[in-house]
């Protein structure tokens, strides 16, 4: 279980400026086998919340726990290598690699597969399932559309054995048909493969598809 325990997050724009409180004393649990959304207006702290869960940022107060242990003690790099996969809004793909190479290298880094042929087959299956055409698998990702690059980023994240998948606007650049496809895949990861999917989204469609929705407003956090 991934847990936010009395977490607050503030930052200063300058040394003399007052602290800007983004999140204030929030708590919540995230269990495997459950599809979560974190919902709220722009600037409410949704992405900050996801960054704290993934060890990309550190709370001003409180703790982020994995199975009762502070993720700082686990080690942020180890956490992201073994336990957590992240789908970034701006993709963070290797721009000089093809779609299939981006997924294969993620599998190699996470230790899922050291066998190149096996990794290639699994990568192809994931990318095709996410709606890429076979001809696009071997194209350098900069030659793909934004929506295609987003699907590569999703395939890369779900290629590992990580239990927790954190997704920042995973359908932001997709049309309605492909949004439905991605939601179906995320739900399958949760309910068939017992993953925990946590999405930050503006999409009511994803919100309605999720099992649990946490809403953020004025730094507060509550289950809806």
CATH of the domain at 197: 3.40.50.300
- As a whole number, the mean pLDDT across the chain is 89
Burial of 223 (0-12, 13-18, 19+ CB in 10 A): exposed
Burial of 103 (0-12, 13-18, 19+ CB in 10 A): buried
Contacts of 194 (CB under 8 A, 6+ apart): 32, 33, 163
For 13-22, b where at least 16 C-beta lie within 10 A, e where not — what string?
eeeeeeeeeb
* Confidence check: pLDDT of 18 > 70: no
State what percent of residues in the chain have pLDDT above 70: 97
* Confidence check: pLDDT of 123 > 80: yes
* Confidence check: pLDDT of 178 > 80: no
Per-residue CA distances from 215 to 41, 42, 211 (Å): 9, 12, 13
- What is the rounded CA–CA span in Å between residue 182 and residue 162? 18
The strand pairing partners of 165, in sequence order, are 85, 197
Q: Looking at residues 71-87, what average pLDDT do you find? A: 91
The answer to whether residues 215 and 41 touch, using CB atoms and an 8 Å cutoff, is: no
For residue 50, what pLDDT band results from cuts at 50, 70 and 90? Answer: very high
Q: Looking at residues 149-163, what average pLDDT do you find? A: 88
* Confidence check: pLDDT of 89 > 90: no
The pLDDT, as a whole number, for residue 26 is 92
- What is the rounded CA–CA span in Å between residue 212 and residue 218? 20
**Per the structure, how many domains does the chain have?**
1
Domain of residue 199 covers 2-223
The whole-model pTM stands at 0.87
The strand pairing partners of 86, in sequence order, are 166
Query: By 3-state DSSP, what share of the chain in percent is helix, strand and coil, each rounded to 5?
Result: 40, 25, 35
- Phi then psi dihedrals of residue 17, to 5 deg: -80, 150
């Amino acid at each position: 279980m991934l847990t936010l325990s009395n977490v607050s997050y503030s930052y200063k724009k300058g040394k003399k400026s007052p602290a800007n409180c983004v999140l204030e004393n929030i708590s919540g649990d995230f269990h495997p086998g459950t599809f979560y959304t974190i919902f709220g207006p722009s600037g409410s702290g949704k992405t900050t919340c996801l960054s704290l869960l993934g060890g990309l940022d550190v709370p001003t107060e409180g703790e982020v726990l994995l199975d009762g242990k502070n993720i700082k003690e686990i080690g942020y790099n180890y956490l992201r290598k073994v336990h957590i996969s992240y789908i970034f809004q701006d993709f963070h793909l290797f721009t000089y690699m093809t779609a299939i190479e981006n997924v294969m290298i993620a599998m190699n880094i996470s230790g899922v597969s050291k066998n190149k042929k096996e990794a290639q087959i699994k990568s192809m299956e994931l990318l095709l399932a996410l709606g890429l055409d076979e001809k696009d698998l071997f194209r350098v990702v900069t030659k793909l559309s934004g929506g295609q690059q987003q699907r590569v980023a999703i395939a890369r994240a779900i290629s590992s054995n990580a239990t927790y998948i954190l997704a920042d606007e995973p359908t932001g650049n997709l049309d309605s048909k492909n949004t439905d496809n991605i939601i179906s895949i995320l739900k399958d990861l949760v309910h068939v493969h017992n993953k925990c999917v946590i999405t930050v989204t503006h999409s009511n469609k994803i919100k309605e598809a999720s099992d649990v929705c946490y809403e953020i407003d004025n730094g507060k956090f509550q289950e809806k």
